[in-house]
Chains A and B, each alone.
Chain A
Amino acid sequence: KQEVTQIPAALSVPEGENLVLNCSFTDSAIYNLQWFRQDPGKGLTSLLLIQSSQREQTSGRLNASLDKSSGRSTLYIAASQPGDSATYLCAGGSGTYKYIFGTGTRLKVLA
Chain B
Amino acid sequence: EAQVTQNPRYLITVTGKKLTVTCSQNMNHEYMSWYRQDPGLGLRQIYYSMNVEVTDKGDVPEGYKVSRKEKRNFPLILESPSPNQTSLYFCASSLSRTGHQPQHFGDGTRLSIL
Contact = CB atoms under 8 A, between A and B. Distances in A.
Contacts of B62: none
Interface residues of A, number: 24
16 contacts: A31-B99, A36-B105, A42-B107, A43-B105, A43-B106, A44-B43, A46-B103, A49-B102, A89-B42, A89-B43, A96-B56, A97-B48, A98-B45, A98-B48, A99-B45, A100-B59
Contacts of A96: 56
Contacts of A104: 42
A102 interface: yes
10 residue pairs, one from A and one from B, having the closest CB atoms: A103-B42, A46-B102, A101-B43, A43-B105, A44-B105, A32-B99, A49-B102, A93-B99, A43-B107, A31-B99
Interface of B: 4, 31, 33, 35, 40-45, 48, 50, 56, 58-59, 90, 92, 97-108
Contacts of A91: 43, 103
A70 interface: no
Contacts of A42: 107-108
Given A43-B107, A97-B56, A103-B40, A34 B45 contact: no
Contact of B42 (A31, A93, A97, A102): A102
B31 A97 contact: yes
Nearest to A6: B42
A45 interface: yes
A32 B102 CA distance: 9
A51 B99 contact: yes
A13 B98 CA distance: 37
Contacts of B105: 36, 43-46
A101 to B, nearest CB: 4
Contacts of B99: 31-32, 51, 93, 97
